[in-house]
Amino acid sequence: MNPILEVKNLTKNFGAVVAAGDINVDIYENEIIAVIGSNGAGKTTFVNMVTGYLKPSSGKILFEDADITAYPPRKVTRAGICRSFQIAQLFPELSVLENMMIAFSLTASRWPSVLQPLRNNKTAENSFTVLKNFNIDMYANDPVASLAQGVRKLLDIAMAMVSKPSLLLLDEPTSGVAIEEKFELMDTVMNGVLQSGASTMFIEHDMDIVERYANRVIAFYEGRIIADGPTAEVLQEPTVKEFIVGEDIAHQEGGGLNA
Amino acid sequence: MPEKNFNITIIAATLLLITVGFILPGWLTFLTISILAKALVVVGVAVLMRGGIVSFGQGLYYCIGAYAVGLGGKFLGITDLLGLMFLALVAGLVSGSLLGLLMKRYREIFFAMFSLALSMILFGVLSKSQLLGSTDGFTIVKPTILGATLSTDNANHAIYIFACLLSGIVIWLGQRYLRSPMGFAGEALRDNEVRVEYLGVAPETIIYTKYLIASVTASLGGGLMALTLGHIGPEMAYWSQSGEFIFIALLGGTSHIAAPFVGTAVFEFIRTFALELAPNAWQIILGVVLIFIIIFFPSGIWSLFSSLKEKLRSGESGSPSKTPSVDLKKGDS
């Protein structure tokens, strides 16, 4: 089976600092991958490079056999890779439904219509369906600015799902969400994602969530991948335990932020 | 407002304005055309502002439209009102589509300063051009209507009717644009450019569309003003003229496509009467009015209509509906 995403020798330097060095990753269809690592390990840099937000210093990114290394974010999205953000990227002045309708309209065409109304039955129906899949349809008419963090996260992911991506990258989907609501949120996310059949890679600090939802784990440390394999195996690796899991547990015990 | 009601309102308002024109005194006809002409420019300024960008150089297209009308009559021998206004439209479209390729890359103060610089370049070029009357400008031909030569009064009335129809069409098209995916995308861009990009659309495309709309409406406004005044000059591209358009946009607000028309009407009436009352201090009166508007109506005069509408709506439906809460909303944010 050919991988849908091939990352070859990907490196990103910020001056003398190596934010990500010599990253090699293959992602296959239907995989659910957790990316773990302490703060500054290079996880978000990696996701930012794959989604076109950062230009790699060197290396190659192939998606479905096309070289997307130099693609801007909009071309990466159109190629079939979508993402959500650590801080939900929404349109706070508009309602939840309007956010979804804009997502549908903009993903439908590079040149959105200038004279056809945004609010039409078909777009509204499609938007409601996605909102329902993510259990946030009851907020449809609420302004985004008034929403709780968990709902914002779900809307952010729901909007990323609109273009039916082959690969979905979620940057810390549970960050900023109360501990007791994390599993509920991830259940909703995974339910929505699994319906689409997209491969999913999510950055996560909470090892309970990683164990429960991921079938593969990639562990980052100081800009490099130190382990990559089935969840149970990677989480038992001594280096992962020492540099990532241990640190993460310490954070949780201290009540610190998993940023 | 539902689309059908909006269409009826626009048609009724346009017909009413045309009908009223038959009994208006000459000075008021002139003032109304000036209001509509400037409002067309302000519509473009407001469309840009809704996307989070401010043009300090909309006088550029105002001037281009006016000179297109002037040059069409002077060098091409075109005298027909529709023909001259078509020239203004084409001039705005062509210049806007070319300069838009540059402007779409800029945001915030850079966009504002770049637009200002372009308008001042045009001002400088026209001021130095002897052929085009230098700083004095030149008088333009009296327009004919579908081949007929009319008296000055009748010609002015024809321009008035045309201005009303043009404004009606611009409001109708403008409202359709604001309610379209591209219109909403403009607002979305102001809120979050990163998300727009990750939905697969280039923010530059949205800015370019806005810029094109603004350049065309400004050119039409300039053409209309040229026909009304019968004279054009480079001061139409001067920075203070562009500043006036921003002033009016703030005065009227940007929340509705008709807001620039209300803002321009208020502005022109205040200026007219302030000039009567205090010929040497009318700017002070205008300044005080703007301060008053910013303090009490930061979203512009149109916000008065919006809040009135909201009150009427909530009065009809009783207390506002409550959104059902779910667990996710509990305990965070």
What is the C-alpha separation between A202 and A204, in angstroms, rounded? 6
Q: From the CB of residue B305, how many other CB atoms can be counted at a distance below 10 Å?
A: 16
Q: Count the domains in chain B.
A: 1
Instruction: Please give the C-alpha separations between residue A137 and each of A63, A134, A160, A161, A177, in angstroms, as whole numbers.
Output: 33, 8, 16, 15, 19
Residue B309 located in a structural domain: no
Domain contains B112: yes
Q: Which two tokens stand for residue A245?
A: 């899991």
Chain B: give the shortest CA distance to residue A150, in Å. 6
* Per-residue model confidence (pLDDT) at position B88: 96
Give A49 to chain B, closest Cα distance, Å. Answer: 13
More confident residue, A237 or B216: B216
Residue A134, CA distances (Å) to A29, A99, A105, B210 in order: 22, 14, 19, 34
Q: Which domain holds residue A41?
A: 1-80+166-259
B179 → closest Cβ in A102, A106, A118? A118
Residue B201 sits at the chain A interface (C-beta within 8 Å) = yes
Predicted confidence band of residue A180 (pLDDT cuts 50, 70, 90):
confident
What is the pLDDT, as a whole number, of residue B317? 56
Instruction: Name the H helices within B179-301.
Output: 181-191, 193-198, 203-229, 239-252, 259-277, 282-296
Residue A70 confidence (pLDDT) above 80: yes
d(CA B216, CA B234): 19
- For B260-310, the pLDDT digits (tens) are 999 999 998 888 888 888 888 888 888 888 788 888 888 888 888 877 877
One domain for residues A19 and A145: no
Asked which of A130, A164, A198 is the last residue of a domain, the reply is: A164
Contacts of B183 in chain A (CB under 8 A): 114, 118
With a cut of 60, say whether residue B333 has pLDDT above it: no
pLDDT value, residue B189? 86
DSSP state of B318: -
Mutate to test the interface with B, among A50, A51, A54, A74 (most CBs of B within 10 A): A74
Say if residue B132's pLDDT is above 70: yes
pLDDT tens for B87-96 read: 999 999 999 9
End-to-end C-alpha distance for chain B, whole angstroms: 33
Residues A43 and A217: beta-carbon distance below 8 Å = no
- Assess B311–A contact: CB distance below 8 Å, yes or no: no
Same domain for A28 and A94, yes or no, is no
Residue B207 lies in a domain: yes
Higher pLDDT, B262 or B146: B262
Asked if residue B178 is part of any domain, the answer here is yes
Residue A151 Cα, gap to closest chain B Cα (Å)? 6
Q: Are B224 and B156 in contact (CB under 8 A)?
A: no
Please determine, for residue A89, whether its predicted confidence score (pLDDT) is greater than 90. no
CA distance B246 to B190: 18
CATH (domain of A253): 3.40.50.300
A116 plus A28 within the same structural domain: no
pLDDT digits (tens, 9 = 90+) for A133-166: 888 889 988 999 888 888 898 899 888 888 888 9
Q: Between vectors from CA A18 to CA A254 and to CA A78, what angle results, nearest 5°?
A: 90
Q: Which of B115, B131, B72 minimizes the C-alpha distance to B239?
A: B115
**pLDDT at residue A253, rounded to an integer:** 46
Are A172 and A225 members of one domain? yes
Which residues in chain B are contacts of A154 at CB distance < 8 A? 328
The Cα A92–Cα A143 span in angstroms is 7
- Cβ pair A91, A99 in contact under 8 A: yes
Which range among A19-23, A96-100, A115-119, B152-156 has the greatest average pLDDT?
A: A96-100
The separation between CA B105 and the C-alpha centre of its own chain, rounded to angstroms, equals 23
Q: Is there a contact between B182 and A114 if contact means CB atoms under 8 Å apart?
A: yes
Please, what is the angle between helix B108-128 and helix B59-75, to 10°? 30
Per DSSP bridges, beta strands B231-232 and B138-139 are antiparallel
Choose one of A164, A197, A226: the last residue of a domain.
A164
On the question of pLDDT at A247 being above 60, the answer is: no
> What is the rounded distance in angstroms from the CA atom of residue B197 to the CA atom of residue B305?
34
> Residue A258 has what pLDDT?
36
For tokens 């009357």, what's the residue?
A: B133
Q: Please return the burial class of A257, using the count of CB atoms within 10 Å of its CB with bins 0-12, 13-18 and 19+.
A: exposed
Task: Please indicate, yes or no, whether residues A174 and A73 belong to a single structural domain of this protein.
Answer: yes
Same domain, A172 and A259: yes
Amino acid at A25: V
Yes or no: say if B245 and B41 are a contact pair by the CB < 8 Å rule: yes
Residues A13 and A134 in one domain: no
Q: From A185, which residue of chain B is nearest by alpha-carbon distance?
A: B328
Among A32-36, A120-124, B203-207, B208-212, the minimum mean pLDDT is found in A120-124
Does B317 reach chain A within 8 Å, measured CB to CB? no
Which of B47, B104, B201 best probes binding to A when mutated, by most A CB atoms within 10 angstroms? B201
| B201: three-class secondary structure by DSSP | coil
The confidence score (pLDDT) of residue A257 equals: 35
Predicted local distance difference test score (pLDDT) of residue A86: 84
What local confidence, expressed as pLDDT, does residue B12 receive? Answer: 93
B333 within a domain of the structure (yes/no): no
- Please write the tens of the pLDDT for every residue from B27-58: 889 999 999 999 999 999 999 999 999 999 99
Among residues A137, A164, A191, the one where a domain terminates is A164
Q: What is the pLDDT of residue B315?
A: 67
State residue B277's pLDDT score: 85
Task: Print the domain residue range for B96.
Answer: 3-238
- Does residue B293 lie within any of the structural domains? no
Inform me whether the pLDDT recorded for B235 exceeds 90: yes
pLDDT band at B1 (very low <50, low <70, confident <90, very high): low
Compute the count of residue pairs across chains A and B with CB atoms less than 8 Å apart.
143
Residues 165-184 of A with CB under 8 A from B: 176-178, 180-181, 184
Mean pLDDT of chain B: 87
| H/E segment holding residue B133 | none
What's residue B287's pLDDT? 85
User: Which residues of chain A neighbour B323 with C-beta distances below 8 Å?
Assistant: 138-139, 141-142
Residue B272 lies in a domain: no
Residue A179 has pLDDT above 70, yes or no: yes
Report the pLDDT value the prediction gives residue B316, as an integer from 0 to 100: 62
Partner-chain contact A107 B331, CB within 8 Å = no
* Spatial distance between the Cα atoms of B242 and B99, rounded to a whole number of angstroms: 17
Q: Are residues A205 and A242 in the same domain?
A: yes
Band (A1; pLDDT cuts 50, 70, 90): confident
Number of domains in chain A: 2
Range A172-201 average pLDDT:
84
A:33-92 residues touching chain B, CB 8 A cutoff: 51, 72-74, 77-78, 82-83, 85, 89-92
CA distance B288 to chain A (A): 30
- Residues A172 and A71 both lie in one domain: yes
Looking at the partner chain, which of A93, A105, A115 has a beta carbon nearest the beta carbon of B191? A93
Is residue B278 one of the residues assigned to a domain?
no
Long-range contacts of the stretch A132-140 (C-beta < 8 A, 24+): A133/A158, A133/A191, A133/A192, A133/A195, A134/A158, A134/A188, A134/A189, A134/A192, A135/A188, A135/B326, A135/B328, A136/A96, A136/B328, A138/B323, A138/B324, A138/B326, A139/A96, A139/B323, A140/A95, A140/A96, A140/A97
The confidence score (pLDDT) of residue B5 equals: 84
Residues A104 and A28 in one domain: no
The better pLDDT of the pair B69, A123 is held by: B69
Q: How many CA atoms lie within 13 A of B99 on its CB side?
A: 28
CA distance A172 to A259: 8
Residues B237-258 pLDDT 10s: 999 999 999 999 998 988 889 9
User: Distance from A243 to chain B by nearest Cα, in Å?
Assistant: 30
- φ, ψ of residue A205 to 5 degrees: the values are -105, -20
Mean pLDDT across chain A: 85
Interchain CB distance below 8 Å, A77 and B179: no
3-state helix, strand, coil in chain A (%, to 5): 40, 25, 35
DSSP alpha helix (H) spans, B51-104: 59-75, 81-103
A216 and A227 part of one domain: yes
